[in-house]
Amino acid sequence: MVICGDDGLAHRLGVTLDAVCGEAVTVVLPSRREGHAPEIAALHRDPQSPVELLVAARPDEQTLRAAGVERAAALALTYRDDQVNVTAALLARTLNPTVRLVIRMYNRERGEHLERLLDRAVSALGRTEDTALDMSTTVLSDTDTAVPELVAAAAVGQGDTLQVEGQVFRGVVRPARTPPQSADLATLAVLSGAHQDDPASEDSPETPGEEGTQLLPDTVTSYHRQFTHGRLMLEEVTQHHPPEAPPRDRRGYGAWLRDRLAHLPWKVFLSHQVLAVFGALAAIVLVLAAATALAEPGPLWKSVYLPLLDIFTMGDPATDESPARRVLQLIAGFVGLAVLPLVVAATMNATEAFRKGSVGHPPAEDVHDHIVLVGLGKIGTRVLAQLRTTAHQVVVVERDPHARGVALARELGVPLLLEDAGAPGVLDRARIRQSRSVLVLTRDDGENLDIVMAARESNPQVRVVMRLYDDDFAATVSRTMRASYPDATTRSRSVSALAALPFAAAMMGRHVLGILPVERGSLLFTTVDVAGHPELEGRSVHQAFRANEWRVLAVGAAEETGSTGSPRSTDTLGSLRLDRPGFDWRPSHGRMLRAGDRVVVVSTRRGLDFLMTGVQPHPTEPRT
């Protein structure tokens, strides 16, 4: 497999493909010194890692040929320049029509057009008859692929995630002697005694042998070891249903209207600026009214009415009146020229502040055990949409009233504070002390860290999840926060770390939905058509299970393939999924698998090779 790029995503992707997936990898670097090139070069120097390096200024035809694209199974283009990625993808498709292309794109609309264009190119180059090959093109955004991990971390804590059909699943460790939970779907592994917390952590020791971690164990092994060993379970995090708007009609429109009017920021019209300007105007009117009453005795209302007309230049010229009246009219006119701009400015400022404040909707006093989401940018909006598919309440803090997620928050009826989360008292108004988790997704790493530290001061036990751009900074922050607050959960992940697994899964083929690291190995989630498959067709779900190799998780109807023989499998968030709903994630063990079915299978890499090729692979030799 070939990777072109030198940033954090390219580095993480190389590590994942090599260490987790066991693939041979060639990385094309623009330079050995810039970006994450030194870390990638360190992989090349590691004798246990077969990562090869090629230094080239740009991914032109000569570079791609030298990298071996003509015989590669997959090519990942992770440059930050969309145009460079598009040009390289077109060249690669010409050099090798069967190569799987995984392209990082920031312009999502352009990415959709590129997918269709490159998939049609396979047909134009005469390779449509070879349906056994997965000649797919997958366009992903690294920020979008991080959404399921962030949602799961905020909602339920640690654990690598998988997104299928808009639902989010995660691998969660259940301690020994813990009964199954209602959200648990299947046992993925029985852990060794060394893994009671997180078998996918970077410092997990490898424990081979009968007493080590057993992937996809049989019933006997699982039963006898669950009392002394932890289990890695597949847990359902979200349900696939559209979020519901707040039930206004159930409590009556009048009650809803009174509630909304009570929360409107009427106090902005009593700000110091407004009071000062209108107070000065009232004082001037009183002085001119007193002078008018002395110059021309008459009713009190007339003494006030005439200066007001003069200030607002609405009265007739006092040419036929006394000299004193004419002088007062001129003075009132000059005063109006000076004061009216201040009155207009103060009114407009107050109106704008009222408009901004009315967009927000502070949480009720009884809100508790909720998730505080800070930041409604590109990724924050998608996180909000998926969090609303869980049973958790959400309170949003966003300082920009024009942020893309503000309209969605209002539509969903989510409590929204349009304020700076770093300002004193804002997190308290979001009821951070009563919250379950805080999810910080602003664009600035330093600001994210400031907000998290403020949240920790207010609620030392709150679960913290923050997105950071710098990989090393994220690791340092995570270690420091865990050391400072050992009893609380802190997840500090860079976007590149979150995106590496979905990119690696796409490089392995569209049928691969996701990868779950376990120790030095991995479990792969794939889709397989039952028709004609000797290990699946005509068997029950229980009979189709093979210990330590694969397990059927879900059953649904088979979908039609496209022109390249590969089903479409990218959703609007850029995460890998199936195109069509209707999968049963809790099939009975006696459910028979028929030709019209399509199944979601979790397998080891050895089991996947057998499922896809029908050839029993030789035992894997350990690395030396």
**pLDDT exceeds cutoff 80 at 434:** yes
* pLDDT of the residue at 204: 42
SS3 content of the chain, % helix, strand, coil (to 5): 40, 20, 40
Asked whether residue 40 falls in the same domain as residue 132, the answer is yes
194 and 296 assigned to the same domain: no
What's the pLDDT at 91? 93
What pLDDT is attached to residue 126? 53
- Give yes or no for residue 239 having a pLDDT over 60: no
pLDDT for residue 206: 42
Among residues 296, 329, 359, which one ends one of the domains?
359
Q: What is the pLDDT of residues 371-397, one digit of tens each?
A: 999 999 888 998 898 888 777 889 999
Is residue 495 very low, low, confident or very high in pLDDT (cuts 50, 70, 90)? confident
- Residue 130 neighbours by CB under 8 Å, 6+ apart: 98, 565
- pLDDT value at 310 more than 70: yes
Q: Considering the domain boundaries, does residue 257 fall inside one?
A: no
Q: CA end-to-end span of the chain, whole Å? A: 21
DSSP states of 550-569 as a string?
EEEEEEEE-----TTS----
The domain containing residue 54 runs over which residues?
2-140
Q: For residue 525, report the phi and psi dihedrals to the nearest 5 degrees.
A: -105, 120
Q: Is residue 483 part of a domain?
A: no
274 & 334 share domain: yes
Q: Which position has the token pair 């199974």?
A: 73
Picking from 110, 125, 140, the residue at the C-terminal end of a domain is 140
> CATH number for the domain including 425?
3.40.50.720
Rounded Cα gap, residues 490 and 175, in angstroms: 20
Of 269 and 273, the structure prediction assigns the larger pLDDT to 273
User: Is the pLDDT assigned to residue 130 strictly greater than 60?
Assistant: no
- Asked whether residue 113 falls in the same domain as residue 153, the answer is no
The answer to whether residue 30 sits within a structural domain is yes
Residues 155 and 114 grouped into a single domain = no
Which of 178-187, 344-353, 584-593, 606-615 has the highest average model confidence (pLDDT)? Answer: 584-593
| 374 and 445 together in one domain | yes
**Is 243 domain-assigned?**
no
Query: Is 622 among the domain residues?
Result: no
- Encode pLDDT of 77-101 as tens digits: 999 888 999 999 999 988 998 899 9
Do residue 177 and residue 305 come from a single domain? no
Whether 130 and 19 share a structural domain? yes
Q: What's the residue count for the chain?
A: 624
Q: Which residues, including other chains, have CB under 8 Å from residue 168's CB and lie 6 or more apart? A: 148, 151, 152, 161, 162, 237, 238, 386
Lowest mean pLDDT among 229-243, 519-533, 601-615: 229-243
Residue 260 lies in a domain: no
What does the alpha-carbon distance between residue 185 and residue 389 come to, in Å, rounded to a whole number? Answer: 18
- Tokens representing 222 are 């699982």
| pLDDT value at 345 more than 70 | yes
Lowest mean pLDDT, pick from 45-54, 159-168, 185-194, 312-321: 159-168
Whole-number pLDDT of residue 577: 39
561-612 pLDDT tens trace: 443 334 443 333 233 333 444 788 899 999 999 998 999 999 988 888 888 7
The per-residue pLDDT for range 282-295, each reduced to its tens digit, is 898 888 888 888 88
Give the per-residue pLDDT at 248. 46
Our count of domains for the chain comes to 5
pLDDT tens per residue, range 10-26: 988 988 888 777 788 99
Are 104 and 26 part of one and the same domain?
Answer: yes
Domain membership flag for residue 474: no
Which tokens sit at 198? 């997180």
Coil, strand or helix at 528: strand
- Do 43 and 94 fall into the same domain? yes
What is the percent of the chain where pLDDT is above 90?
Answer: 19
**Residue at 484 is within a domain:** no
**165 compared with 73, residue with greater pLDDT:** 73
CB of 381 closer than 8 Å to CB of 312: no
Q: Residue 576: which CATH number?
A: 3.30.70.1450
Residues 295 and 400 in one domain: no
Q: Which of 34 and 76 is assigned the larger pLDDT? A: 76
Question: Is 319 in the same domain as 385?
Answer: no
- Domain end call among 359, 394, 423: 359
